[in-house]
Structure 1
């Protein structure tokens, strides 16, 4: 699946009002915390890393990111391409 296709499909599930950006920003923070908590439980509490739960929570992070991009009229694929360009410049291989 392409990023822009994901963004379009994900947008069909957006429920919101005039506060949609705030809702998405808070949701992104919340879901990022869920990912962090899973990693913390694995790293510091000796729990098994629940990959199924990690995939779900990372998917929620992806959804919120895509919706913030949608709100800002930024194609999701542009974000991914720009990030790779930045990483390639930062971590040049000799």
Structure 2
């Protein structure tokens, strides 16, 4: 069941950052749907996990504004990788439904 999307004006800056990062992963690094599908099954989630662990390490001390910017960047990258994995799962489910 699909959740209705809010109007674009109501989409948060964080959500837009994740979508922009996913687009960057595709255009700059070639991490297309085909490339994601060819990757080992747990690769995208494990890579996202690495980014989140790194972000958590930065937060384990009193981060300054520059470190908070790095934490946000790593969280955005991880979220974009999770989005890629969700898309991969959706493609796999759709292929199984055929």
TM-score (norm 2): 0.52
Deviations 1:51-75 (Å, cap 9, x if unpaired)? 221121111111111011111118x
Q: Say whether the 8 Å CA contact 1:28–1:61 is kept in structure 2.
A: yes
CA RMSD of aligned residues (A): 3.2
Tell me whether 1:9 sits opposite 2:23 in the alignment: yes
Q: Say whether the 8 Å CA contact 1:38–1:54 is kept in structure 2.
A: yes
Tell me whether 1:26 sits opposite 2:42 in the alignment: no
How many residue pairs get aligned? The number is: 69
Structure 1 residue 11: deviation in Å?
6.6
Structure 1 residue 39: deviation in Å?
0.9
Change (3 A) 1:11 1:71: farther
Which segments of 5 or more consecutive residues in structure 2 lack a partner in the other structure? 1-7, 92-98
Which segments of 5 or more consecutive residues in structure 1 lack a partner in the other structure? 75-94
Q: Say whether the 8 Å CA contact 1:25–1:68 is kept in structure 2.
A: yes
Structure 1 residue 41: deviation in Å?
2.3
TM-score (norm 1): 0.54
Tell me whether 1:73 sits opposite 2:90 in the alignment: yes
Q: Which residue does the alignment assign to 1:51?
A: 68
Q: Say whether the 8 Å CA contact 1:10–1:63 is kept in structure 2.
A: no
**TM superposition outliers: structure 1 runs of 4+ over 6 Å:** none
Change (3 A) 1:65 1:28: same
Structure 1 residue 38: deviation in Å?
1.1
